[in-house]
């Protein structure tokens, strides 16, 4: 992977906010890897000819995470959460879907993201963001308001399994005949959503999310439905800050079943990276500048967290 200056600067910005923690991701440092299966619905193959959307159940890994790049941050912090899915394809390659528990992203371009991260970085003397700086940024960039509103009101989740996650970028779904429809992935928890009360959050153990998910998986698999919301006329397909109207057509694509904590990857020299641009034939990328900024930034993060090249 060739990285450029903006990739370095994006990760510099994350390191400046969260600190540099050798061995840990620059963002989403704390998380839990799980073994899973991905089973497409019959409707999936009509939408796309991609190999994982036809027929068989595929092996998968899912990593749940907190958004922070500080691996010591307590789980009860108000923070967006991540859900990253790696599906193993019949030809030995993989494809990744990477999602957040926010309905929109903070910026349309990597340059805007740098400016936003600068504006919201906590003041080292108070540990708090400078609200005047954040306000000035939002006045200039109203497109960031949905994501910021969702982030500051984000529930403290009762479980990683009790949140809805959104992959935010639109991808092209290429049917067998070659026609393309743009859509966005959403992961819906079969268990429903559940949050901690303020009192529960205040008393929660620092790592309660991993403990809770481990206990939950010992009882039964955790299931998510994977939906694709299809773009309507005029919906932007290159702008992750802009949610589409709820009324858009939705196709149920798959059932994701998380079965157990996983210990077969991220051990020894195996570096696991989830890259949303890693798509097979049958899925295409939009021109979204944030989507295209991600692989470079993730590679810089990998280079900083380990000397080992990333693997699939």
Judged by CB under 6 A, how many residues of this single chain contact ligand HEM? Answer: 31
Q: Is 98 near ligand HEM (CB under 6 A)? A: yes
Active-site hit among 28, 61, 166, 169: 28
Which residues are CB-neighbours of 96 under 8 A, at least 6 positions away?
Answer: 84, 85, 86, 87, 274, 275, 276, 278
DSSP state of 310: P
User: Of 100, 144, 209, 262, which lies in the binding site for ligand HEM, with binding defined by CB under 6 A?
Assistant: 100
Binding to ligand HEM (CB under 6 A) within 167-186 occurs at 167-168
Query: Given the complex with ligand HEM, which of 17 and 49 has the nearer CB atom?
Result: 17
φ, ψ at 57 (rounded to 5°) = -70, 135
The radius of gyration of the chain's CA atoms, rounded to the nearest angstrom, is 19
Q: How far apart (Å, rounded) are the C-alpha atoms in residues 186 and 252?
A: 10
User: Per DSSP, what are the bridge partners of residue 37?
Assistant: 59, 257
Interface pattern 236-255 for ligand HEM (x via CB under 6 A): ----x---------------
Residue 255 tokens, joined = 């059932």
27 vs 49, which CB is nearer to ligand HEM?
A: 27
Helices 110-120/5-18 angle, 10° precision: 20
3-state secondary structure of 252: strand
Residues in the chain: 312
The yes or no reply on residue 301 touching ligand HEM (CB under 6 A) is: yes
Active site includes 141? Answer: no
Beta partners for residue 65, in sequence order: 31, 82
Q: Closest Cα to residue 302, out of 114, 25, 83?
A: 25
CB of 301 to ligand HEM, least distance (A): 3
Q: Which is nearer to ligand HEM, 56 or 78 (CB)?
A: 78
Q: Does 101 contact ligand HEM by CB under 6 A?
A: no
Q: Which stretch binds ligand HEM (CB under 6 A): 10-18, 121-129, 156-164, 198-206?
A: 10-18
Applying CB under 6 A, which of residues 51, 144, 290, 295 lies at the interface with ligand HEM? Answer: 290
Contact indicator for 89, 260 with CB cutoff of 8 Å:
no
Nearest distance from C-beta of residue 131 to ligand HEM, angstroms:
23
Q: Does 154 bind ligand HEM (CB under 6 A)?
A: no
Angstrom distance (rounded) from CA 35 to CA 213: 12
Separation CA 156–CA 202 (nearest Å): 10
- State the nearest-atom distance from the C-beta of 55 to ligand HEM, in Å: 27
Does residue 256 belong to the site contacting ligand HEM (CB under 6 A)? no
Residues that bind ligand HEM (CB under 6 A): 10-11, 14, 25-28, 31, 63, 65, 82, 84, 98-100, 105, 110, 113, 167-168, 240, 273-274, 290, 293-294, 297-298, 301-302, 305
Q: Which residues are catalytic?
A: 28
């Amino acid at each position: 992977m060739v990285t450029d200056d903006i990739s370095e600067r994006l990760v510099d910005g994350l390191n400046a906010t969260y600190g540099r923690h050798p061995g840990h991701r620059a963002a989403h440092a704390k998380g839990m890897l799980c073994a899973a299966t991905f089973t497409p619905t019959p409707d999936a193959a009509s939408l796309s000819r991609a190999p994982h959307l036809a027929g068989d159940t595929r092996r998968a890994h899912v990593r749940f995470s907190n958004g922070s790049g500080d691996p010591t941050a307590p789980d009860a912090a108000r923070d967006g959460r991540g859900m990253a899915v790696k599906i193993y394809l019949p030809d030995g390659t993989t494809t990744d879907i990477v999602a957040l528990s926010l309905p929109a992203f903070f910026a349309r371009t990597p340059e805007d993201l740098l400016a936003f991260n600068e504006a919201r970085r906590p003041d080292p003397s108070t540990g708090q963001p400078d609200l005047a700086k954040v306000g000035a940024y939002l006045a200039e960039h109203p497109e960031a308001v949905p994501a910021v509103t969702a982030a500051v009101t984000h529930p403290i989740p009762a479980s990683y399994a009790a949140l809805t996650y959104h992959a935010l970028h639109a991808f092209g779904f290429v049917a067998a005949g070659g026609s393309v429809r743009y859509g966005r992935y959403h992961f819906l928890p079969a268990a429903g959503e559940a949050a901690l009360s303020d009192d529960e959050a205040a008393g929660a153990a620092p790592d309660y999310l991993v403990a809770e998910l481990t206990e939950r998986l010992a009882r039964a698999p955790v299931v998510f439905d994977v939906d694709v919301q299809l773009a309507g006329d005029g919906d932007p397909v290159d702008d992750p800050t802009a949610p589409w109207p709820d009324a858009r057509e939705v196709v149920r694509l798959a059932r994701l079943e998380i079965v157990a904590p996983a210990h077969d990857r991220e051990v020894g020299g195996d570096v696991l990276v989830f890259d949303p641009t890693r798509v097979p034939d049958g899925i295409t990328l939009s021109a979204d500048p944030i989507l295209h900024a991600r692989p470079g930034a993730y590679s810089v993060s990998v280079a900083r967290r380990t000397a080992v090249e990333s693997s699939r």
